[in-house]
Structure formats: structure tokens, C-alpha cells
Structure 1
């Protein structure tokens, strides 16, 4: 049975099991206490999902069935309507976030971009997000989205099943590199490998577009070391923390302890960004923050990752 139909539970604060869709009492206070202790004005989360309701419902249906694919149930902790999801995120003190959305086939991206532009217009704390797909129209609608104010793009190589080096995307990457618009790309092979996932296609892409501001989602889980290599090689490559270091993430794709030194240096150097995957996470939001804190990389690192790096990337300071 799917998590939705059986009253599923997920990992909550401190790794405890919790009921799906039930925001725990006091969670906002715990999140707020985290960033206030660090002397921050709030959090900048570069990897959150808002999309048309019927599209989001299909995404949730996918996660409801991801257990048979990975052997791990994936209940949606914040399965609420849009208004409540926004209220929860703002209650956590997230001062800037994204509406990561993505097509799984041709003909969807431009429509999604129209929705995202409207969402950003009525949601001033959301960074105007757009997406793309390898199709002839991408050469038209991507520059149109940039001209309309898009501040970040989402590319989902795994779900879209495309090679980022597809010739139809070459003018798009060049345009985004020149405009300095970041692209959050799910290109790692977790939770399930795809035909074009992994560091090799991204390495080829960056070889041709070395100035592309690329944010590797999930730190490239599980190919962490390879994507850290790319971040050290290309100064515009960053990585987001989405689901990494959490109890859930560590079960299937533990971050190698030998790489903590590089993680520390890249974070202090502006290259690691807070991402959470809200609302599509099987645990409480605060657990991602606790997972970062227990790395014991220091308060300066936490301040950079949870606010400063994202604020500088998007000129929020």
C-alpha cells in the first residue's frame, strides 16, 4: 500500500517517526532558534518545490510509489495546500526560496514557466524560477523567461531523461552562462540512476560552458566526491545540501567522512547552499538543519551555508 493510503509515517525531529502531513508542535520555534543562535536574519533555501497543484499531485503520487523502486517508503511530510505550505515555510523564517518545477516531456516547460512567473509575482519571497527541456522552442522560451525576470532555472536530468549536452540546449546554456542565471540541476544518480545521470555528462557540459552557474542538487548524491571535484575545477559550480547528511539520506547514500575537509572549504568559499526539498521530504524541516549542525564544521560554515552563500548568489544582502 502507498504511504498516502496507509497513514504513513516519516522521520521527524531527532530521527523520530511521525505522522505524514502533521507539522509537529514547536517545529517553527526550533527552526527559528537555529538561525537566531547563529545571528542570521533567517534562511535562504535554494531547493523548494512549488508548482501547479495537478502537477504537484502527480509528483506526490510518484513519491507514494517510490518505495517499490528503492525499497524505502517516502511519505510527504508537508502534504498541504499551497497557502499552508507557504505559511509553514515563512513560519520557519525562510526569507527566500524557490519554486523548483520541471517537465518530464517536451511541450511542458513553457507552460510551467508561465505558471512560475505568475506565482513569483504574487509571492515576493519566492525567487522567480523557470525550467527547460531539450526541444526547439527552448531557444525562444528560455531567453523570454530571463527577460521576464527569472532568477534561477531547474533542470532535472533524471526525470526528464535527457542528456544535458543535447544540441538543442547548447544555446540555452550559453545564454544562462552569459546572463549569470544559476541552474539547479538534479544530475546525480540518486535515488535511482538515469540514463544520463552522473558526473560525466555534467563534466562535458562544463568543459564547453565553464562559466555556467551550476548548482548541483543533492550534492550529486551518491557521486559526492566526483561533484566536489567539479566544484573545485569550475568556480561557478555550487552544490546544495538537499537531503544530504539526514538520517534518511545517510541510510542509502552516506556522505564520505573523508570529504568533510573539502566540504568545509567549499562552504566557507561560498559554494555550498542550503537546500531542503520542502515539501517533498519524509522528515521534519528542522532535521535538515540539525544534520548540517552535527557535521561540526563550525558556526561560520553554518552561517555561510544557511544564509550567506545563497544571499550573495541572489543579491539578497
Structure 2
């Protein structure tokens, strides 16, 4: 009994540590990659060698800023919104496998759990927009809700294709069932899942809910200090989670030659993090009509086609 409790405590500690460290690594990586791609000098100077202290400087900046609550805000909902945006990603990390046996909880319906909980994170933006007492924040919250409803369907359909191919909803089970020859015939689903995940995170070029040229900062316009920092941490945690899920579902998770399983998982995850950053600096923001058309006219039909192809392959393969 004591051994089981200790094992659960160690797993929980590892998950919490990963949750605190990996999003920060993703944030630091974004600073550096964007600095190289766009010739930004600032992020390369803080602390000397390669701007190693940029992340520390940002943290100190957020801690020093005053926590301001607008007079017209709903104070209780305003204070809860950053936590609602952040906590779902911690819960998702509990069921994502890093290596053989290295998973917080192996749920039989782990994929269903992940998809259900990820949708809750968007409520943080909706709550922030509604409670701020600011018309720009409200518009950003409405756009966040509309974007979730549009992109949740292709995300679920693409994930369902992998579950159908593997014959299980368990994330470790999907990795164990994964084969290299899945790469070509699950490629459509992988692209749909990844793009829909970016849209749910409201990452560029799908950042219409924020749209700083129109809405200042969207739902986060009235947030300052550590509350704003929690929203930023939730964004980077979401980047890690979407990259990790794409790795587990479509890239074989920990599978790979020569290197240990967890190393392969992290390599694949941070390769996808790099792609997310690359997309941010390469493509302009979509208009709202373009964003909705991409979901309903392009991604949903592609996801349905992937489901049909998976069904055919399953029948033919027996």
C-alpha cells in the first residue's frame, strides 16, 4: 500500500514538474526562434550569452506589475478566468504517455478524456471576455467561443480516425498499436488535427480572438501582472499539449530507433513546437470569414474523408 502511494506521489511530482518546465522551455524557444527568424535583437541580449535570461526578465516584469481589476468587472469571474484557462492542460498532461509505462494515469478512454477537457480551456477566454466590462474583451470572448465550435468537430473526427485504426481509446494503447506504415494514410488526419489544435489555442494565423490591431488583446485586454502571465503560461502549455497529442496519435509517440523512448517523445514534441513558432512568423492572420470557411469547407470534409479511408483500410486489413 505504501509503495503504491509513493509511486503515485512520484508520478504526480513528475507531471507537475513537466507542466511547470516544458511550457517555459517552449516560451524561451519561441523568443529565440523568432529572434533568429525576424532579426530581433532584444531577446538575444538579456543576460549575455544568447539572451539566456530573457525568460527570467519576463517573469520579474510580470511579478512587478500591479494587479488591476476594472471597476465594471465581475471580480469573482475575472479572478477565476486565468485558472480555468490553465488547469485543463495540467489535467491533460496526466494521461499523455512519455515512454513505455511513463504515464500518470492510463485511462481506457484517455483520448475521450483529453478531447473533453481541452475544450474547457477555451471557457477561460470566454469568462475573461465577459467579466472584464470591456467591449473589446467581449468581442474577443465571442470569437473564442465561435472558433471552438468550428474547430472542435474536425479535431474530434481526426482523433477518431486514429482510435478506429488502433482499436482503442487508450493513449498508450494507440502508441503500442502504431505502425510506421500509418504515416502516409493517416497524414490527412494528422494535418487536420494539428491545424484544428492551433485554432483552438488561438495561435497565429488563427488569432482572431486576440487580433491586437483590432481588439487590443482580446479577452486579456484588462489583465495585468501575474494574471496575464497565467494566460501566457496556459498558451505555452497548450502548445506543448497539442504537440504531444499529435506525437502520440500520429507520429508513434516514444517509438523510434537507437534512442530511449522518452527522448524520442520529447524530440518529436519540440519539433512540432518549432513548426508552431515557424507558422507564427510566416503567415498573416486570417480574417474571420476565412477562418470559419477553412474549418467547415476544408477541414471537416478532409476529416470525414480520413475516417472513410480508415474504415476501408480496417475492413481490407481484416
Higher strand share: 1
TM-score (norm 2): 0.29
Kindly name which structure, 1 or 2, has the bigger radius of gyration based on alpha carbons.
2
TM-score (norm 1): 0.29
Higher helix share: 2
